[in-house]
Structure 1
């Protein structure tokens, strides 16, 4: 028994050590940059890393006499972070500052290894034990900037796609587009190889696959944009090209060589599975998108083990904030994944979104300063619409909702509740007055100055806007992301979903 106790204590101490490491980052900023503070955001788990711009822990760092220091505790061996420096558009500053400040690229860092950073108008200099890794990553960020410039130049030389664009012109354009991206991946491979003597194998593999993942994600994302928003002839030409040259093709970044520590590569593989399916459906002549269940089926055919878990889970995180998540899909996903953290997250998501559990208990202010709570809607079916001023999708949803609202205008048991995440009250009120996002019949609420940090946003893990949530008469969640009525089919589906809830 004593031996078992000793073994348990040793294992506990070892496990605690893995997640109790510390890091101190010492920084120096040239006074000419006029930076008196910065924000530092970091994520210590795969879930938060997938959306570090919106999640993770954030530290406000004061800069005094041109120096700052960041202390972090309870860290895993490796984690991801962003130095959120104040934006600076001066022509006198180097691209390095823009890459870290204006764009905010994500760095992979290691715990317990000193980091020192020096910023000036002329560039960024790293020193300390992680110098080689950070130098390599900064050079990869510079390469991303060059890639972006090359793609912009290519687009400008061609012009825009329109109804008169021929299939050969599309093919020629995409041949060059594909080649530009491919050459950047080759340059990245050569760059990381040049640091092989200074980086451990896992670090080199991770920073390389982060570059490949983000680059290839952006590449196919642009193709998706053309398919989604181009005239019908262009849409079919681009989809046909994608199905011929992209489906089942990875170009760079062999999954067999991936060691499992990148936060970008699994996202790309998940997005590619979705895109492969959607573009194959586009050739049927319809704007059909693959749902999560179909994407997961393809992902399970392509990947196994830890890689399947990462890709399937990335697919969930990427799309659960944007579309309705079927309960059977979540049950299947939870059963297929082996990673316990992923399974716990998916199960918690299922409880919040798809099972008839109580909705988040809120207390929000309306435009007249009155506090509104869940109790005000008991016995009614409520459709929440989360939005913010400047959101184009939110403008479109308001327009598309008109026939749905008209259908239920005489039913006192249906309420449309608009919830703005604008951080300034005056901006919210101005938008209400213009009527571009709301109607007079809507209940209009505000998350106060908390914006997207409000507990209701965090609870439902809303990461994109607009987001709708349908709540039943007993204050239970019926559906997260019910159909957006931008098509006749979706409009009818949403009306039916609301009608079914009213008839319960």
Structure 2
């Protein structure tokens, strides 16, 4: 099991390394230039004769819905107001060597209809220098890197849409819906593979493989979302009896490295939609509603046991991003954090964990100190608390204590701050001896004991702590930070120790 130490250490090792790459890459090419115009005459009817044009770029390969609706990973929005055929220039900041972009504009007076759907995510690369023309049904590029983006436009335009679906649905011809859908998807995939072959020499083998994986998302995502959201027992029964259902259930995927599959923004979205669809309970008469706690748990367990490596990491990120507003997902967060291996996706989970817990009531503990005195959370309600959980023999707990040296020296005598150190040791005397060794905690801190209950104590279960050490900052009895940065040592002027102190200063305001 991965410890919270390793999770927080990302802030020390991964992010500085990534910042180093961006800084040095940016010295040569700080931006990707995107110039163009919107050639849609309808925007002349909008207020002021202008439309809202925006691009969202991210280092994370997700679909447009996630890119446009989440602040849980590094992303940037660039927004402009442009008129019909008016030249524009977007300077897109270089967030990574490879980035993912959605590019949209409003095309009606209400400003609610956007050209370019959530499955049309463009892949940008460092060094691109692009020009484009946007219209209602097309985006065309010229310049360096344009072949890659035009290939993606062609792939998107070749996806299958069942145009008479509503007519067939109203007529109750559900089997015909899935028969036509299968034929259309199979045909579209063949066309899309031919498109990739046409561009292969210009985009290179790696990008051709990424886009090959991506076509399965283009083929199935919107279709599966519709199946998943249906409330019709008859329609769902027809789906389960169809050849298309068997194709999806038995899908093996292209034989490509996981790094390639994960770099395709829509491939793992298809896998996620597949799990959402296949885990719904249906007894032939009653169809389970989406997002029931049992359904959420079933999806999580299939991801946990059915996948591995970076594909599982990305699916876990998708799971928590998709259901981040559902209270039941908190029971999976600690384990999800321990399973996530790749830094960019683990950081997504850390951010969600922080957002879900901040502002929540901290567990109202009543625990004994080393003198046998009962200490309550309410006794400390007017203090800003640094609360950590540890046990004797925990190497990470000892490392955290050493890393906290600068924070301890800064706040040990501060009247508004208390250090609260809670042990899950089962042996009371062992706990008291460990307190005196200074190895895991400072004897002058408020040292508390869970009464021998260990991991089964209500405070541990309520906070869903699954790995140690675990640290919180608590203000006015509520969680102020659920994942404060792992301090970098005694120097309070640099690194994550400085970040920790800045967070504390904010809490003291």
Length, aligned pairs only: 332
Partner of residue 152 from structure 1, selected from 163, 172, 177: 163
Secondary structure of the corresponding residue to residue 338 of structure 1: coil
Specify every segment of 5 or more residues in structure 1 that has no aligned partner in the other structure, as ranges.
1-8, 90-98, 360-472, 478-504
1:421-460 equivalences under 5 Å are none
Specify every segment of 5 or more residues in structure 2 that has no aligned partner in the other structure, as ranges.
1-15, 363-475, 481-509
Deviation at 1:233, TM superposition (A): 4.3
Q: For residue 424 of structure 2, what is the aligned residue in structure 1?
A: none
Q: Distance in 2 between matches of 1:328 and 1:58?
A: 32
Deviation at 1:196, TM superposition (A): 0.6
Q: Distance in 1 between matches of 2:105 and 2:245?
A: 43
TM-score by length of 1: 0.56
Secondary structure of the corresponding residue to residue 56 of structure 2: strand
Deviation at 1:30, TM superposition (A): 5.2
Deviation at 1:200, TM superposition (A): 1.9
Partner of residue 114 from structure 1, selected from 129, 133, 137: 129
Q: Is the 8 A contact 2:35 2:90 kept in 1?
A: yes
- By relative contact order (CA 8 Å, sep 6+), the higher-ranking structure is 2
Compared with structure 1, are the counterparts of its residues 188 and 215 closer, same or farther at alpha carbon in structure 2 (3 Å cutoff)?
Answer: same
Is 1:311 aligned to 2:315, yes or no?
yes
Higher Cα radius of gyration: 2
Deviation at 1:278, TM superposition (A): 1.2
Q: For residue 194 of structure 1, what is the aligned residue in structure 2?
A: 198
Is 1:75 aligned to 2:78, yes or no?
no
Is 1:61 aligned to 2:80, yes or no?
yes
Q: For residue 345 of structure 2, what is the aligned residue in structure 1?
A: 342
Secondary structure of the corresponding residue to residue 220 of structure 2: helix
Compared with structure 1, are the counterparts of its residues 11 and 176 closer, same or farther at alpha carbon in structure 2 (3 Å cutoff)?
Answer: closer
TM-score by length of 2: 0.56
Q: Distance in 2 between matches of 1:11 and 1:223?
A: 40
Q: For residue 279 of structure 2, what is the aligned residue in structure 1?
A: 277
Q: Is the 8 A contact 2:317 2:348 kept in 1?
A: no
Q: For residue 33 of structure 2, what is the aligned residue in structure 1?
A: 24
Compared with structure 1, are the counterparts of its residues 63 and 349 closer, same or farther at alpha carbon in structure 2 (3 Å cutoff)?
Answer: closer
Partner of residue 85 from structure 1, selected from 88, 96, 105: 105
1:249-288 equivalences under 5 Å are 249-250=250-251, 253=254, 258-279=260-281, 281-283=282-284, 285=286, 287=288
Q: For residue 484 of structure 2, what is the aligned residue in structure 1?
A: none
Deviation at 1:317, TM superposition (A): 1.3
Secondary structure of the corresponding residue to residue 352 of structure 2: helix
Task: Show CA shifts across 1:316-345 (max 9, x none).
Answer: 212223x32343311111111112232233
Q: Distance in 2 between matches of 1:354 and 1:31?
A: 45
Partner of residue 156 from structure 2, selected from 138, 141, 149: 141
Q: Is the 8 A contact 2:98 2:125 kept in 1?
A: yes
Q: Distance in 1 between matches of 2:117 and 2:163?
A: 17
Q: Distance in 1 between matches of 2:164 and 2:244?
A: 26
Q: Distance in 1 between matches of 2:245 and 2:62?
A: 35
Q: What CA RMSD, in Å, does the superposition of the two structures yield over aligned residues?
A: 3.9
